[in-house]
Each structure stands twice: as structure tokens, then as C-alpha cells.
Amino acid sequence: MNLSKILLCVLAFFYVAACGDEDSTVKKNHSTTTVASVEHEHEHEHEHGDVVDVIDLSSVADPPAVSVAATLDGEGGAMLAIELENFELVPLETKSGNQPRQGHLHIELDGSTVAMISENHYHLSNLVNGHHKISVSLSAIDHRNYYLDGKPISDSVMVMIEGGEETSAPDISFEVEIVGGKVKGGLSRFEVSKGDSVEVIVYSDQIDEVHLHVYDKMKKVEPDAPAVIRLDATIPGIFEAELHSAGFRIFELQVS
Ligand SMILES: [Cu+2]
């Protein structure tokens, strides 16, 4: 097992628990949500990259399955009801070895892990206006994701929040597209001024994770869900962003 991955997972969890998500996706907000629509999104079939640090259960008879439904709470949040098949939730503190049908759940909001739980319901609160993708995936006791036929065992819903808090528009926005293992149009260096609020949207035809160094932003990217990285350009310098599994540079950010 990969210790750094586990550490990252645990750190991310405590960071979220202690500080809240620094991204503007989640904001302390109790204004009333007036309009609500929830639609179910089926996982698209897609090719997967060389994903490491997962446990593939393709050879296990009666592998586990998960499905999630979201009900908006009318206050900018969503209640998740999670149904499991062939999967037993065990407490997060469990230290014993992995069993193919045991573990816990990772909750992701727009590609970032926001919670790890061992219950079949969860309340996500204080979402800002707009579309959000909420995913629930099965995790082994050691926090590696369970896979089946090369894809995560997970389910997603798209929710549309309206009447909640507005997202503040970034000062400057960039887009990067990765196709067939290459950055479309070549590597770009995005120049911003110190103090700017910056948004970089990364599209990829492979599942991977975008990592922006120093600012230490990590976002999952999928063919049907771009990674949206938001940051305040407080640190001057030139910073590299890479695709984590593929291991190549996808853009540079210059803050001056
Ligand atoms: Cu975990």
C-alpha cells in the first residue's frame, strides 16, 4: 500500500473537517434555497489510465455496488441516501486488513474528497449556486478505492442549487485540454498578478488528478467532469501543474 496516498487522504479529511474547503465551492451560508432540481447522472463508460493504488475486485464473486440519491434540503445543501450491495461499512478507526466487501465511503464534491464516512447517509451543506457533482465511492479500510473492470465502484448525482450564495467570479480564468496524453496546443504559461483570484479549468479524456505544486491544489479530472482549480495568487513565482498518474506537466502558473 502507498503510505503517501493514505496520508494525503487522512490529511485532506482533517483539513476539510477543521478548516472547511478553501475553494469557493463550499461557503458558510444559510440563505434560503428556493429552487431545487436533482437529476441522476449515470457513470459514463470511459477508458481508464494506468491507475495505481486501487484494489480491483473484478475476480471477486458478487462484488459490491453503490448507488446514491440526493435530496436538496432547501438551504443550499443536499441529503445523500446511499444504498450498498455486498458491502459492509466498518468504522474509520478499523485497522485490520482489507476484506473485499468491507470498508467505508468517500464523498466527493466536484472532484474533491470532502468526507469519509461509515454510514449510509450524509448531509452536504452550504453549497454555492450552480451545478455540483456529488460522488460516493467505495474505499477499502486502508483508503484505497475499490475498482471493478478498471473503473471505480462509485455512483454520482448532479445537483443544481439556485437561490443560495452566488459564486464570486475569478479575476482571471484559463483552460487546458488534454487529449491522447498531450496538452492540446502545447504547454502554456499562464501569467497572473499577485493578488488575483485565478481559475484554471482542466479537461482530460482520461481519469487522473491534477496537481498544482506549492499552492498544493489536487483535483480529480474525468472525461465528463473537468477539474476546476481555484486559488488566490498570493505566492509569487512560477509553478508547475502536472497530471498525477500520467506524470507530465500540463501548465505553468506565473505569479508576479
Ligand atoms: Cu478513506
Q: How far is the CA of 111 from the centre of ligand 1 (A)?
A: 15
Give the pairing type, strands 54-56 and 145-148: parallel
User: Containing domain of residue 13, as a range?
Assistant: 3-162
C-alpha cell at 212: 498544482
Confidence of residue 32 (pLDDT cuts 50, 70, 90): very low
The vertex-249 CA angle with 243 and 251, nearest 5°, equals 100
Say if residue 24's pLDDT is above 90.
no
Dist. CA 44–CA 35, nearest whole Å? 27
Task: Let me know whether 136 and 10 are in one domain.
Answer: yes
Q: What is the pTM of this model?
A: 0.58
Dist. CA 42–CA 46, nearest whole Å? 12
Residue 167 placed within a domain: no
Confidence of residue 44 (pLDDT cuts 50, 70, 90): very low
* SS (HEC) of 172-224: EEEEEEEECCEECCCCEEEEECCCCEEEEEEEECCCEEEEECCCCEEEEEECC
Q: How far is the CA of 9 from the centre of ligand 1 (A)?
A: 6
Task: Let me know whether 16 and 110 are in one domain.
Answer: yes
Task: Let me know whether 130 and 52 are in one domain.
Answer: yes
Dist. CA 160–CA 68, nearest whole Å? 16
Q: How far is the CA of 131 from the centre of ligand 1 (A)?
A: 25
Say if residue 125's pLDDT is above 90.
no
Ranges 1-15, 171-185, 193-207, 212-226: which has the least confidence: 1-15
Say if residue 140's pLDDT is above 90.
yes
Q: How far is the CA of 116 from the centre of ligand 1 (A)?
A: 5
Tell me, what CATH number does 183's domain have? 2.60.40.420
State the CB neighbour count (10 A cutoff) for residue 34.
9
C-alpha cell at 7: 496520508
**First vs last Cα of the chain: how many Å apart?**
40
Task: Specify the DSSP class assigned to residue 152.
Answer: E
Residue 119 placed within a domain: yes
Q: How far is the CA of 56 from the centre of ligand 1 (A)?
A: 16
Q: How far is the CA of 12 from the centre of ligand 1 (A)?
A: 10
Q: Using an 8 Å Cβ cutoff, are 133 and 84 in contact?
A: no
Ranges 8-22, 127-141, 186-200: which has the least confidence: 8-22
Task: Let me know whether 151 and 193 are in one domain.
Answer: no
**Nearest in space to 42 (alpha carbons), one of 69, 60, 61:** 69
DSSP class per residue in 240-256: EEEETTT--EEEEEEE-
User: Residues 6 or more apart from 3 whose CB is under 8 A from it?
Assistant: none
Model pLDDT for residues 162-210, shown as the tens digit of each residue: 766 777 778 999 999 999 999 999 999 999 999 999 999 999 999 999 9
Q: How far is the CA of 142 from the centre of ligand 1 (A)?
A: 7
Dist. CA 33–CA 44, nearest whole Å? 29
pLDDT at residue number 52:
54
Task: Let me know whether 133 and 236 are in one domain.
Answer: no
Task: Let me know whether 112 and 21 are in one domain.
Answer: yes
pLDDT at residue number 7:
44
Rg over alpha carbons for the chain, rounded to the nearest Å, is: 18
Q: How far is the CA of 8 from the centre of ligand 1 (A)?
A: 10
pLDDT at residue number 197:
92
pLDDT at residue number 170:
87
